[in-house]
Amino acid sequence: MLLYRNRASLEQIRANVHAFDLPTAGTYDTLVASLLGGLYERVADEVAEAYPTGTILEVGSGPGRLAVRLAQKAPGLKLTGVDISPEMSERAARRAAGAGLGERVRFEVGDVGALPFAEESFDGAVSTLSLHHWSDPARGLAEVHRVLKPGGEARIYDLAHWLWRPAHGASRLDRLAEASPFGGGAVEVIRWPASVPAFVLLRLRR
């Protein structure tokens, strides 16, 4: 019985990672996003250093934790978050408003496969732990490429390769990058927490 329960739990975890089917945005915000505070802090520092001013698109913005941190670190930035979940977008908008950032940070409901923005709209793009949930990663990267200005960079933080395969059966990040309009990119290992190589950073230049 114990073996069955453990196997069932493992299958449910894998299903959650693939389908992102946590019950509510509030549950995700409390149980997952709050535990990733250190990672968001690191990402915000890196993106703020690369883009102290300009316009940034966050794909898969979730409850808005990263967007708010980034806006606080870079007062010259304007951020637009897009998430497929209306509940996540509403929660993110409330968080930004509560932090007094409503004029510089906004959120929209949308699918990365059909981003609701014109071509060459953003100086840069960032995505954190979202790519492995995209139903069509190749299409998503093509859309990110489309909305970036020439010379703009997409910084996509996601699960490390040893976690990527259970989460998604598609090609690895380097192969996706090569097949995308970006024509390739750099994949860097992110050691967090501590020295655990649990994440990677895919950097793509338009």
pLDDT in tens, 137-164: 999 999 999 999 999 999 999 987 665 5
| Choice between 171 and 69, residue whose per-residue pLDDT is larger | 69
The residue whose two tokens read 């975890």 is 13
Q: Are 163 and 200 in contact (CB under 8 A)?
A: no
pLDDT at site 117: 98
Cβ neighbours of residue 203 closer than 8 Å, sequence gap 6 or more: 153, 154, 155, 156, 185, 186, 187, 188
Amino acid identity at 21? D
The DSSP 8-state label assigned to residue 119 in this structure reads T
Residue 134, φ and ψ in degrees, nearest 5: -65, 130
20-63 confidence digits (pLDDT tens): 444 577 777 766 667 788 899 999 999 999 999 999 999 999 99
Instruction: Give the pLDDT score at 166.
Output: 47
Delineate the domains of the chain, giving CATH numbers in brackets.
2-205 (3.40.50.150)
**Per-residue DSSP letter, 192:** B
Q: What is the pLDDT of residue 164?
A: 54
Ordered alpha helix ranges (H), 20-136: 25-31, 37-50, 65-73, 86-98
**Which pLDDT belongs to residue 197?**
82
Give this prediction's pTM: 0.83
Confidence of residue 8 (pLDDT cuts 50, 70, 90): very low
* DSSP state for residue 99 in the 8-state scheme: T
Here the tokens at position 107 are 């959120």
Per-residue confidence band for 193, with pLDDT thresholds at 50, 70 and 90: confident
pLDDT at residue 132, rounded to an integer = 86
Lowest mean pLDDT among 11-15, 86-90, 172-176, 187-191: 11-15
